[in-house]
Structure 1
């Protein structure tokens, strides 16, 4: 009997605290009920913080939390020393735009984009880890400062609008990618060698058809000759190739510029959410930008451009991140980023949301697209050697786990 009572003791203590809180605050709640409609969501949550249960949990949390800042938090404060989220956003933009572009000076001109698949897998893990471990919890619940306990007021319609913003960000990138594929005749924005390899296969098929076995029947020879004509008709004349490749390269630059704008929006909205979310988003974007920039640089070189011109164009695309960051700062500063009066329904669709609050879920949707539809198909490509592909797949999974593990470790600590 005694062990059973011991198990029920925590429940009894919790019920006692609830009853005590209700008895103490019952009169206050009745007196304030008339004015509850004039309070904003933030003001209601601040009032909930005065609840005895929340206060007791707060004291318990502080007593078990370390007072010494972690090495990670100290590093973040060193990298982003400003109190203003706008200045920290611009600093993050400098980090993701500067080093990857200067790194291109060390990249050989004959680099194969397909050799970057391990780096791409690492970036996918980082992007998806940032979305699911950092952005999603922040979007729907907000971030709790270290050592604190907070009560969150749930608004179902607010959560629906946040979900809509995530979907809009995802679909926006679907439309952008589709438009690019239409403009390039179906090539799309990729770092692979699909076009070059398909041309090589066409030429190889042409040679194989032209050197058919003498033991073949007349019908087979005619079929091979016809196949040779068909393949030859699909391969553009040498004088037309540079023009087509350069057009694809310039369209690739346009796609990169647009993509970098969303990176800038992600940085600004993340830093306005919290310094930690901003720092982790900067890290995720940085890990993605290195293979992204190197792959695009290789495509420009293959398009007939010199290394100097290719580096200059990649620098131009980096300005897209600056533009996106500035746009995000303007929206956050002048788009009404705070909570509106709930009772009067002054927010979007009667919720406490403002336009600035939709930037973070929008960028989360774009990250979802880039980390899944935009990149994973490249990782799904396989060759005829099964053992080689199995080893490559294992390395890709390890790289993804490493990228996601870094984001999980940052969130956990």
Structure 2
């Protein structure tokens, strides 16, 4: 019978052997897993039995025929290339709003567009919160399938930074325009942004000033031999008014560049996200273009000149789309990086994550949408006049319009 010392020595040998095996095998296994990229790990997760079972179940319950909304999107964007579809979306948001300006009267008041702007802002916020942000952090799941997503904390942090950079970029642009215009700035809703474009009222003259004003009067005989007084118009401060109008054009051009970036990045994310973003931007562009057109008219420009300058600002959307397509094609995105990545080398993207530069365009434009949808309209909603009942009715219409815009985006996302 083995002695107690023999048993103790045998136990020690077994423990040492187990430790040696674990010290060699476990790190090798963990190391092989650690060298997999995020996309490779997610690809392997799709073959888990529970994911495959859920995918099979969804495929049985999923409708084989596309919905009317999907058919409409396919008709509007029939191409397989996201670049061509993005250019199509740019034509949709730039063409009709500019042609609509030919039907606009020259005495339109931008403050009358508040309800339309509220609807557009509801669409922008709905598109950002219901479509863009879920796509940014989780990606889009093809209909009838189930997908497992590996949470990558540092990737989410970088995406959040890109959203903040987009938001702060518009804050800096708006602040710079306010400094350039002496505090007037560029408002995206145009409710009260025409103050700097209005021609100053004629000041009251007293003393020698009144004598100088009287010297501008001349007496003109009428047909009955009597006389009547005609007042010569005083010169108006046209240069300063037109400076504000031209600064407004610069702001519109920059804003349209971000619209083009949004369209290109959203179509590269998925056709559905691209279509919904096009719809949201289109709803925003109509009151935006009409309001800017009214400001240019009030700035002393002719209707023909104002329409021509608005067409020039629309080219900013084309430029933004081209820039976005170039970034996506040459800077890459997660899908293209995963397709070209070498297996077994892990994540080789930004800061050791799976992100590449092209993936930052969509969160950047989401940040700009958040700025336009919040800072651009909330100050106007908070402003009130002396007539309480009129303000309550106006507020109710604005909230209903905003809810309608957001509801459309929610319905598209839900279905």
TM-score, normalised relative to structure 1:
0.82
For 1:392, the equivalent position in structure 2 comes to 394
Mark the CA change 1:316 to 1:188 in structure 2 (over 3 Å): closer, same or farther: same
CA drift at 1:32? 6.7
For 2:218, the equivalent position in structure 1 comes to none
Structure 1 contact 121–379 (Cα < 8 Å) conserved: no
Aligned residue for 1:148, secondary structure, equals: coil
Q: Aligned-residue CA RMSD in angstroms?
A: 2.3
Residue 291 in structure 1 maps to residue 284 in structure 2? no
Rounded Cα–Cα distance in structure 2 between residues aligned with 1:309 and 1:172: 30
Residue 130 in structure 1 maps to residue 127 in structure 2? yes
CA drift at 1:330? 0.3
Q: Deviations over 1:179-217 (max 9, x none)?
A: 0011111100132346549979x959x77x99xxxxxxx
Mark the CA change 1:77 to 1:382 in structure 2 (over 3 Å): closer, same or farther: same
CA drift at 1:391? 0.7
Aligned residue for 1:186, secondary structure, equals: coil
Q: Which runs of 5+ in 2 are unaligned?
A: 1-25, 207-232
Find 2:301's aligned residue among 281, 302, 305: 305
For 1:353, the equivalent position in structure 2 comes to 355
Q: Give the stretch that moved more between structures: 292-301 or 191-200.
A: 191-200
Mark the CA change 1:239 to 1:87 in structure 2 (over 3 Å): closer, same or farther: same
Rounded Cα–Cα distance in structure 2 between residues aligned with 1:133 and 1:80: 21
Rounded Cα–Cα distance in structure 2 between residues aligned with 1:241 and 1:32: 77
Q: Which runs of 5+ in 1 are unaligned?
A: 1-28, 211-236
CA drift at 1:378? 2.2
Rounded Cα–Cα distance in structure 1 between residues aligned with 2:102 and 2:365: 30
Mark the CA change 1:291 to 1:199 in structure 2 (over 3 Å): closer, same or farther: closer
Residue 246 in structure 1 maps to residue 242 in structure 2? yes
Q: Give the stretch that moved more between structures: 336-345 or 373-382.
A: 336-345
For 1:326, the equivalent position in structure 2 comes to 322
TM-score, normalised relative to structure 2:
0.81
For 1:380, the equivalent position in structure 2 comes to 382
Rounded Cα–Cα distance in structure 1 between residues aligned with 2:273 and 2:234: 51
Structure 1 contact 345–351 (Cα < 8 Å) conserved: yes
Mark the CA change 1:85 to 1:126 in structure 2 (over 3 Å): closer, same or farther: same
For 2:276, the equivalent position in structure 1 comes to 280
Q: Give the stretch that moved more between structures: 274-283 or 333-342.
A: 333-342
Mark the CA change 1:199 to 1:58 in structure 2 (over 3 Å): closer, same or farther: closer
Number of aligned pairs?
356
Give the alignment of 1:95-134 within 5 angstroms.
Answer: 95-134=92-131
For 2:61, the equivalent position in structure 1 comes to 64
